[in-house]
A and B are shown apart, each in its own frame.
Chain A
């Protein structure tokens, strides 16, 4: 199995801050990585796919980068609507598709 890790597990930030979340894979997944945002009681929402492609309708303050085993999600200027939990997911293979443990972005 490909293991996914995320850091930090919790992040305290203020509106307007630049925020970076890191996701690491236990082996190379090329660029087959997605980022999701989840708010309490809601389904995850796709933000980024193929490591750096912005999903349609997602604000441009979200960006993704990386390849191989190390990836980042950046929010250029944190907005009140962005306080949520963020998950990375590898879809390089079906053995199995795996998610990171999540990063909770909290209000500082």
Chain B
């Protein structure tokens, strides 16, 4: 059974960089059939797509966040990571990692999510 698990600091100071890792188990991140993505959800609000990566390293980013986002992949560890720079309180959210079914496909497996709070 595929499982995704987010990890990283739950508290980040304003202007600093948020860093999260998603560890994939029960399947290979190097599968040619899937992409891997990050989605976030501010408390009490809706879902926002952050970006998507293929095991080869090719990426797609939300234009609204593109200048601050970097998504990378480590196939040796079966992990992919998110970095969001210059964070503000508006970046406080539950961050989810997910598997994407194909280059244009739904997010079919999700991690449980991790709350990241931006506060001094």
Contact = CB atoms under 8 A, between A and B. Distances in A.
Interface in A51-108: 55, 87, 89, 91-102
A44 interface: yes
Given A43-B96, A43-B113, A87 B63 contact: no
Contacts of A1: 63
Interface in B68-120: 96, 101, 104-108, 110-113
B110 A43 contact: yes
Nearest to B108: A46
A99 B48 contact: yes
Given A96-B62, A99-B46, A43 B104 contact: no
Interface residues of A, number: 25
Nearest to B109: A46
Contacts of A102: 46-47
A101 B46 contact: yes
A46 B64 contact: no
A94 B60 contact: yes
A25 interface: no
B49 A95 contact: no
B96 A87 contact: no
A10 B96 CA distance: 24
B106 A89 contact: yes
A100 to B, nearest CB: 8
Given A43-B96, A101-B46, A95 B108 contact: no
A87 B52 contact: no
Contacts of A99: 46-49
Interface of A: 1, 32, 34, 36, 42-46, 49, 55, 87, 89, 91-102
* 7 residue pairs, one from A and one from B, having the closest CB atoms: A43-B110, A34-B106, A94-B60, A97-B49, A96-B62, A99-B47, A49-B106
Given A44-B107, A91-B106, 16 more contacts: A36-B107, A43-B110, A44-B96, A46-B106, A49-B101, A49-B105, A89-B47, A89-B107, A94-B60, A95-B63, A96-B49, A97-B62, A99-B46, A99-B49, A100-B46, A102-B47
